[in-house]
Amino acid sequence: MRSAGCCINDVADREFDQHVKRTAKRPVTTGAVAVKEALGVGAVLALLAFGLVLSTNVVTVGMSFAALAITLAYPYAKRFVAMPQAVLGLAFGLGIPMAFAAVLGDVPPVGWWLMLGNVCWVLAYDTEYAMVDRDDDLRIGIKTSAITLGHLDVAFVMLCYLAFIGFWAVALYPYALGALFYIAIGLAAGQAVWHFTLIRSREREACFKAFRLNHWLGLTVFAGVALGYAVR
């Protein structure tokens, strides 16, 4: 579904992307990939994802329609919503309660808390991403969190990192994941501080570097959860 969403996003943004330095070489924008081809690939990927969902249960299948609707809406959110990064957070975050529903048949409170934390993480890293393109986005007239927040962008990013790490630490506390989990949480918080040193100047390349480093932050939290369960 991530890849299907990218296909839809690149088609929806093809007119905007040609005016943004970072996205001007995207294949749909340049014509290297036809619009029909991109939409066809996206449709096939979405159908494959739906086929996987059909192997679960009614609750999860029902949630998948909401997830699909949000995925389709996101590429157009930046035209109308002041903080489209929140829509992206919902699109990415819904996988968490869907996983709980697929296994348990319903979603316990921890599933929603983990989703909320994940939404905060998306808001953090996608605002860093938006900070890269702020000048171009202002010129072409689209909306992003970096534009909406103005000089509060750095503080907002750091608050979202704090919320992400805090929500996950508190939500998973009852599961007694032990020292390894909290060491990982501490390392993730340290990485968030590193991100602050990168984005506080609001320089394009430094903000893009911070965005790209988020896979390490996510991997750290994942490793903490996995290792905590392994030794529990």
Mean pLDDT of 41-53: 92
pLDDT for residue 30 is more than 90: no
Q: What is the structure's pLDDT at 96? A: 96
Mean pLDDT of 164-184: 95
Q: Is this prediction's pTM over 0.75?
A: yes
Q: What is the mean pLDDT of the chain?
A: 93
- For residue 6, is pLDDT > 90? no
Q: Is the pLDDT of residue 19 over 80?
A: no
What is the Cα 232 distance to its own chain's centre?
30
CATH class of the structural domain 57-231: mainly alpha
Residue 215 is predicted with a pLDDT of 96
Q: Which helix (H) or strand (E) holds 151?
A: none
Residue ranges of domains in the chain: 1-55, 57-231
Flag whether pLDDT at 132 surpasses 80.
yes
